[in-house]
Structure 1
């Protein structure tokens, strides 16, 4: 009876061990920074961002000058001209806000450029991670870079280098 119970317990323990979930940890930020095409795309994105910010700064400077001029002249202006200048200022301010939203707002030009330049690279990394998960039979792969907080990760679980190998980066 004891022997049968011991064998049953051993089989149950073996079943639990073989059924254990396998997981790995990767650092997607580290992986992306090792990819030359990501660096190039990030540089292009930064250039677009700088150009658009410069455009906005120029319009802001022109608007500030218009406000300064209006403040200096407002005392001498007749009411109809005053109203016209205030409307002009309001329209220019609205134009500037619309431009900021168009360039940097949700689903603005920067978002679209990021989708165009960075998303294909992220998809490539995701596919490599998926391939690693299938090849190594991982049930979970956690990303320790930004979104999910990993308090501790044993370095031997980090498979970022394996993903880079799949991507052909040394």
Structure 2
């Protein structure tokens, strides 16, 4: 039993010595922060992409409004004509109206999906460009870690070095 205690004590001293050796060789870690979302949003190509997305959304909205207006007109016409038609014909018209409503909903869902894909296609290269610039500038300035200080990313306080302006300069953003 005494040998086990001696072995544990020796092992503890060895580990402590190794850790102290590492601690003496360790360099302080350099950390900075950057607001990546601000960088992307301030890029001229992001502003152009936003304009393109707004125009696309307007196109979809115009089409949806026209489809909705047509469906409402058809529904009103069907209601007015219902007393003069047979039960079978009224059921057929209601089925057509239900199909029209379904098409309207499908178009809306497809437009939302297309908008999301277009946004991804337009912004993905910008996020990549910003990321590469952050890496380049941070490495040039000797930082080991870069934290994203964009709101909602989990950073509570960011009083350290702010790399945002340096990356803006690298990207040519004023």
Q: Is TM more than 0.5 here? A: yes
Report deviation, 1:144. 2.1
Number of the residue aligned with 2:96: 88
Which blocks of at least 5 consecutive residues in structure 2 are unaligned? 1-16
CA RMSD of aligned residues (A): 2.4
**TM-score after normalising by structure 2:** 0.78
Report deviation, 1:76. 3.1
Matched, 1:127 2:132: yes
The answer as to whether partners of 2:138 and 2:163 remain within 8 angstroms in 1 is no
Instruction: Identify if the C-alpha distance between structure 1 residues 35 and 78 changes in structure 2 by more than 3 Å, giving closer, same or farther.
Output: same
**TM-score after normalising by structure 1:** 0.80
Matched, 1:167 2:171: yes
Which structure is larger by alpha-carbon Rg, 1 or 2? 2
**Pick aligned residue for 2:84 from 73, 76, 79:** 76
Report deviation, 1:71. 2.7
**Pick aligned residue for 1:100 from 93, 98, 108:** 108
Which blocks of at least 5 consecutive residues in structure 1 are unaligned? 1-7
Number of the residue aligned with 2:145: 140
Report deviation, 1:52. 0.8
Partner of 2:29, secondary structure, is: coil
Partner of 2:33, secondary structure, is: strand
Matched, 1:30 2:34: no
Partner of 2:156, secondary structure, is: coil
